[in-house]
Amino acid sequence: MKKCIYIILSAILLIACESRTYEEISDTTPIAENVTYNKDVKAIIDANCVSCHSPGAQALTNYNQVKNNIDNIIDRISRPNGDPLKMPQGGSLSPAQINIITKWKADGLSEN
């Protein structure tokens, strides 16, 4: 009986294991609608950037600061893990979040 339970649990464990990477299973579906700062980008910036980038010369606490630094932001969030210039420090945005910020630039950096 113990052998049978062991085999069943092993099978469940093997089935439950996912071998794809985070990037492969993340949502990278193209965004169809226009991305705006207030609707889409602000929440990402507030949750991942403001804790280190407020206030001061590198502040990212409002629309104009983010808009004026968008090229640097996209460069830094798109760097590979392990790169010392990657942002946010100690973590990474999801591919979907990076896509939102990149599409915001492509859509013209609209505030509302």
Where along the chain do its domains lie? Answer: 31-107
Mean pLDDT score, 88-103? 92
**Averaged over 86-93, what is the pLDDT?**
89
| Confidence at residue 54, expressed as pLDDT on a 0 to 100 scale | 86
pLDDT at residue 26 in the model: 52
At residue 18, does pLDDT exceed 60? no
Distance CA 52, CA 84 (A): 16
- How do residues 28-71 score in pLDDT, each as one tens digit? 556 668 999 999 999 999 999 999 998 887 899 999 999 999 99
At residue 28, the pLDDT reads 56
Reported residue count of the chain is 112
Dihedral-angle region of residue 24 (phi above 0 means left; psi in -120 to 50 means alpha; beta otherwise)? alpha
The answer on pLDDT for 110 being more than 90 is yes
Please tell me the pTM assigned to this model.
Answer: 0.71
Query: DSSP string spanning the chain?
Result: -HHHHHHHHHHHHHHH---S-HHHHS--PPP-SPP-IIIIIHHHHHHHTTTTS-SSTT---SHHHHHHTHHHHHHHHHSPTT-TT-SSTTS---HHHHHHHHHHHHTT----
